[in-house]
């Protein structure tokens, strides 16, 4: 009998709201690989999240606001009562007001920016805190969802800044958690059609750029190409990988900008 990749593992997946999200895809693929999955969601999204959970055969979704430090104790206790421990966790939480995603970088309401940073970046450390308190002595795996932050996009703006912070935070978490046997890695996905993507002005321009430049064909409707990589990072196959940003983007990140001849011929 073949052993499944995540057999016997208990995994926390945050951010499942709809069946089209990357988080949902990760939960589905983890279940298929033998894992037990615990889901969390915001209070306002619980009805939709529980509908998505039911389609996975998961009994419930725990309410959890990742921007509230006091919520960590409650969710840790709820997970401890239900499943006892966690072997891995997915951070799939991000938010920015629409005004922060396009236009100029200056003049954006700082209150909205603070919420974006707390939701999209600081909450990754809070997810690490949950995992740290519930991880077995043998260690665990923390994975966050990223969008490449090495350059300035024509869209994305302040969320790009939040993702740059996320990438830096991931390195520091890898440093601090390594002594506990906990790995911290990010998956930088290409553009995927999700509810969150619908809030990005110019998202179709990103898809056009990927179609033109990525060396591998990129399917923006295929969440499994990202979910499978997350499951790999959850597994023992990635036992010596930490502090990494693994790009699942068809190779787009590795391509230089196309050169244009001075005469405009190409």
Catalytic position from the list 48, 156, 172, 252 = 156
The pLDDT value recorded for residue 206 is: 86
Distance between CA atoms of 43 and 241, rounded to whole angstroms?
Answer: 34
- Tell me whether residue 64 is one of the annotated catalytic residues: no
Distance between CA atoms of 91 and 95, rounded to whole angstroms?
Answer: 13
The pLDDT value recorded for residue 261 is: 57
b/e 20-39 (16+ beta carbons within 10 angstroms → b) = bbbbbbbbbbbbebebbbbb
The pLDDT value recorded for residue 86 is: 98
Give pTM, 2 decimals: 0.93
- Tell me whether residue 163 is one of the annotated catalytic residues: yes
pLDDT (mean) for 140-169? 95
The pLDDT value recorded for residue 3 is: 76
pLDDT (mean) for 158-165? 96
pLDDT in tens, 99-108: 898 889 999 9
Catalytic position from the list 64, 163, 172, 252 = 163
The pLDDT value recorded for residue 27 is: 98
pLDDT in tens, 220-257: 999 999 999 999 999 999 999 999 999 999 999 999 87
pLDDT of 1 above 60: no
pLDDT in tens, 19-63: 999 999 999 999 999 999 999 999 999 999 999 999 999 988 999
Q: For the chain, list the domains and their CATH numbers.
A: 10-109+117-253 (3.40.50.720)
């Amino acid at each position: 009998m073949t052993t499944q990749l995540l057999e016997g593992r208990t995994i926390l997946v945050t951010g499942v709201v709809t069946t089209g999200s990357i988080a949902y895809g990760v939960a589905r693929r983890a279940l298929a690989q033998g894992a037990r999955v615990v889901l969390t969601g915001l209070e306002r999204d619980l009805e939709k999240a529980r509908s998505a959970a039911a389609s996975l055969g998961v009994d419930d979704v725990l309410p959890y606001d990742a921007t509230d430090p006091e919520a960590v104790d409650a969710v840790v206790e709820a997970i401890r009562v239900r499943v006892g421990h966690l072997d891995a966790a997915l951070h799939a939480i991000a938010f920015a007001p629409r005004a922060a995603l396009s236009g100029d970088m200056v003049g954006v309401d700082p209150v909205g920016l603070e919420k974006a940073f707390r939701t999209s970046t600081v909450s990754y450390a809070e997810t690490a805190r949950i995992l740290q308190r519930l991880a077995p002595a043998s260690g665990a795996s923390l994975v966050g969802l990223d969008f490449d932050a090495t350059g300035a996009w024509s869209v994305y703006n302040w969320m790009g800044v939040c993702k740059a912070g996320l990438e830096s935070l991931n390195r520091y978490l890898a440093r601090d958690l390594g002594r506990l046997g906990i790995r911290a890695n990010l998956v930088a996905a290409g553009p995927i059609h999700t509810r969150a993507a619908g809030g990005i002005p110019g998202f179709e321009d990103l898809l056009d750029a990927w179609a033109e430049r990525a060396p591998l064909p990129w399917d923006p409707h295929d969440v499994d190409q990202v979910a499978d990589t997350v499951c790999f990072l959850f597994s023992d196959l990635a036992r010596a990988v930490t502090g990494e940003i693994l790009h699942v983007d068809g190779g787009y990140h590795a391509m230089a900008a196309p050169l244009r001849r001075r005469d405009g011929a190409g």
